[in-house]
Amino acid sequence: MQPRIVLFEGGYRPGDIHVFPDQFRLYLILSEVRALRYAVGIGKPGLYQSGEFTIGRKAKWPWWRPTKAMIKRDPAAYAPFADGMRGGPKNPLGARALYLYDDEGRDTYLRVHGTNKPWTIGSAVSNGCARLTNTHISHLYDRVPIGTRVVLHEKSAV
């Protein structure tokens, strides 16, 4: 699904990003009644974290290192990368990353990023981040500055 301009009402501020996990959709609010809609993948059950954040950093072909919690959860998958991985087509953060910071200016380790596994879009398989195809994250990346507000909405209990 390509990014689309859609009707979007509800009092959201233009320039903000909103992720609705139950819809697997991310919206960049363009005006009081329009938004750019993207399909996303979200965090696995128990790893998705809702809240309000700010883009504190942006990176093209970002460097990646799994967190200690990721290594503890799945050492076979993540321990080999404990020292990190350079950006590139095999990197799980994909082509671009938007780093989400909390209200005190600290990196939360949550990201809106690309993926080297585009078939995971529309599912809950990440370690907490919102992921888009590399084409879509590049499209979004070019449209949002550092300081953009990002709202990860609550996931419904099912």
Task: In whole angstroms, give the CA distance from residue 157 to residue 109.
Answer: 24
Q: Where residue 2 falls among pLDDT bands split at 50, 70, 90?
A: confident
Active-site hit among 18, 113, 139, 153: 113
3-state SS assignment for residue 80: helix
Secondary structure (DSSP) of 91-138? STTTTEEEEEE-TTS-EEEEEEE--S-GGGTTSEEESS-EE--HHHHH
Yes or no: is domain 4-152 CATH 2.40.440.10? yes
Query: 113 an active-site residue?
Result: yes
> For the segment 80-97, what is each residue's pLDDT rounded down to a tens digit?
999 999 999 999 999 999
pLDDT, residue 1, reads 66
Q: 85, 103, 105: which is closest to 94 by C-alpha?
A: 85
> Is-above-0.75 flag for pTM?
yes
Query: 18 an active-site residue?
Result: no
- pLDDT average, residue stretch 55-81: 95
